[in-house]
Amino acid sequence: MVTRSLAPGRPGSVRAPSQPTPPGEASPPGQLLPAAQPLLCLASLLAGWLVGGTASQWGGPLYVIAYLAGGTGSAVTAWTALRRGRIDVNVLMLVAAAGAASLGAWAEGGVLLFLFSSSNAMEFYTLGRTRRAIRALVALRPAVALVRRDGETAVVPADTLRIGDVVLVRPAERLAADGVVTLGESSIDQAPITGESMPVDVARGSVVFAGTINQRGGLEVRVTKNPQDTTLARIIALVEEAQAAQVPAQRLIDRFGQIYAVVIIAGSAVAYGVMVAAGIGGGTALYRAITLLVVASPCAIVISTPAAILSAIANAARRGILFKGGAFLEALARVDTVVFDKTGTLTVGRPAVTNVVAIQGDERGVLATAAGLEQRSEHALADAVIGACSDRDIAIAPADSFESVTGRGVRGRLAGAVVRVGSEAFMREEGVAIPERLRPTVTRLQMEGKTLIYVATGRLDGVIAVADVPRPQAAAALRSLRALGITRLVMLTGDNAQAAAAVAGRLGITDVRAELLPDQKAEAVRLLETAGQVAVVGDGVNDAPALAAAHVGIAMGAAGTDAALETADVVLMGDDLTRLPYAIGLSRRTRRVVAQNLTLASLVIAGLIALTLGFGLRLAFGVVGHEGSTVVVVLNGIRLLVYRPRPA
């Protein structure tokens, strides 16, 4: 397996993202500070050259120092690889440097080690930017929390919080735990968790997350999750796992890495024999063989994929998009069909008042009358009516009496008058006549999939239409998907056909399949997969069979939802659907960057091999071309850290 330095640690090693080298921590054996190795190598190399090289008293020792500075880290890693039966790229570089020294080309061997260690240092710092973007999540949770226990208040380490603790959160402080607000009102900046751009108002009963920022009011929060189980902790773990996982392209490279390395060594030996047989001097033939060993090493190919994947995963995490692995990032780039659940995905997931038809009085009066009784009801439709009054600043008078008729409606007295609120069947049972002139309007609203609430004070006052409306960003998200070339958009829902058709019509979705059970949704996804690559977007709980059946399962609005974090391949932490086209655009850009890197690396290697065999390319120039291509592909991948979609 040919490896390359991808993380802080010895050159050629891969250090898990969950174990970054903290500031001040001693470097692993064989490695100085990342920049110190190439700097000491260069200084010794220049000093040796200035004093006359190996011909002088001090030149030889200075070159040895240069070799030790530039090659010790690689030697440690190469030895570890050899003990495990692998040929590491560091082995190839050390063999080439030793061969150069054996020919008396100490300076050129030193240049090889200087540029190789410089390349490692650049990878250390550039890929470190990716890991710093992820490690910044760790710093979101405060180290301590102000807790009330047994009637006493104390400051305790955040990692000692227990379920049931009451945490006091002051203005401008970060929350130390996931929990439920028990006292106080405020606004919470949830951007670190959900990516929401605007603060969210919270009050008693609101769910809040560790790592978010309290804005203006004091809060008391009852802890509902242990520190290791918070949404923030889960996010960090998922991103680290995603960074550690290899994408299929990288697995393919590693699978043939050992064979490729053996071919390079054998090919260099064969080239040496052929050149000697052709009458080329032994020294010249060995020099070219060593140069061939250097230029054919697959450093740039090996680093090309992880440099791009890690950067893309970090970029997505900052936007509240979690990829559970590079394989899903790669798979999302191939998607040509997107399937949506309706309720809670394309719609807000709760009913809202859409129309008010007044027969007596005006719309405000109809809403106020209905809300007078509904404020004592626990039905979801009652919440919609009360919310509409709140949005319109309509005062609600308390009812004098209240009675619920299960499955029909409510009745009571309001300002001394008998009021009835409920379905059409309830109105007929109560002897309230429905004017015939209202029938066309009622039919139209029902055809739009809306639920109707009739309001009567003696006679019918009016009708309130309630529906689960599309999310504000849904239409824009679908337009962006179409702009990306995804024209096959499908809605699968268990809701009735009328309601599904109404929502689909407003969003421009023509392929609608309604009244489906969860297993029927999964079967529909399998049929769609016979014609293309399918992504399913749902809530991660009742859509689990469809998410599992898809090439890529995407859960949205998953902050704090363990089932969503476990079920889906990609998680949109907030409720903003516009993150979906962002994720697809990012995945496609990543695929293009990986292709660019692999093409560039392969062309450079082929060109350098041709120059070495055909024109006797100098070792120093071969090193510059080889290491230069490695740095270029790393920097090209790092560009994904600042990816932004083009304006539509």
Distance CA 137, CA 153 (A): 28
Residue 84 has pLDDT above 50, yes or no: yes
Q: Which of 341, 468, 543, 576 is catalytic?
A: 341
Q: In the predicted model, what is the mean pLDDT of the chain?
A: 81
pLDDT in tens, 183-208: 998 888 876 665 554 577 888 998 89
Query: What is the arithmetic mean of pLDDT over 215-233?
Result: 86
Report the residue count for the chain. 648
Residue 225 has pLDDT above 60, yes or no: yes
Distance CA 252, CA 230 (A): 36
Query: What is the arithmetic mean of pLDDT over 614-634?
Result: 84
> What is the bridge-based pairing of β-strands 401-405 and 352-358?
unpaired
Residue 560 has pLDDT above 60, yes or no: no
Residue 487 has pLDDT above 70, yes or no: yes
- Who contacts 546 (Cβ-Cβ below 8 Å, separation ≥6)? 339, 341, 492, 518, 521, 522, 524, 525, 536, 538, 553
Task: Say if residues 392 and 364 touch (Cβ distance below 8 Å).
Answer: yes
Res. 33 pLDDT band, cuts 50 70 90 = low
- Pull the structure tokens for residue 619: 């070792």
Residue 229 has pLDDT above 70, yes or no: yes
Task: Say if residues 628 and 300 touch (Cβ distance below 8 Å).
Answer: no
Query: What is the arithmetic mean of pLDDT over 52-58?
Result: 74
Res. 477 pLDDT band, cuts 50 70 90 = very high
Q: Beta-strand (E) ranges in 93-246? A: 144-149, 152-157, 166-169, 179-183, 186-189, 200-202, 207-208, 213-214, 219-223
State pTM to two decimals: 0.70
Residue 389 has pLDDT above 90, yes or no: yes
Distance CA 586, CA 609 (A): 35
Active site (annotated) includes residue 341? yes
Residue 625 has pLDDT above 50, yes or no: yes
The strands making up 219-223's β-sheet, listed across from edge to edge, are: 152-157, 144-149, 166-169, 219-223, 179-183, 207-208
Adjacent-strand bridge partners of 209: none
Pick the CATH number of 352-467 from 3.30.70.260, 3.40.1110.10, 3.40.50.300, 3.30.200.210: 3.40.1110.10
CATH architecture of 144-229: Distorted Sandwich (2.70)
The domains of the chain are located at 36-136+238-314+587-642, 144-229, 323-346+474-573, 352-467
pLDDT at site 607: 94
pLDDT at site 564: 59
Residue type, 409: G
Distance CA 330, CA 500 (A): 32
Residue 387 has pLDDT above 80, yes or no: yes
User: Could you give phi then psi for residue 306, rounded to 5 degrees?
Assistant: -60, -30
pLDDT in tens, 530-551: 999 999 998 755 677 888 888 9
pLDDT at site 188: 87
Please state which of the ranges 82-91, 129-138, 449-458 shows the lowest mean pLDDT.
129-138
Residue 20 has pLDDT above 50, yes or no: no
Q: Which DSSP state fits 646?
A: P
Please state which of the ranges 88-92, 391-395, 491-495 shows the lowest mean pLDDT.
88-92
Task: Give the helix/strand (H/E) hosting 524.
Answer: helix 518-528
The CATH number given to 323-346+474-573 is 3.40.50.1000
Q: Which of 105-109, 240-244, 461-465 has the highest mean pLDDT?
A: 461-465
Residue 559 has pLDDT above 80, yes or no: no
Residue 24 has pLDDT above 50, yes or no: no
Task: Say if residues 93 and 298 touch (Cβ distance below 8 Å).
Answer: no
Task: Give the other-Cβ count within 10 Å of 155's Cβ.
Answer: 10
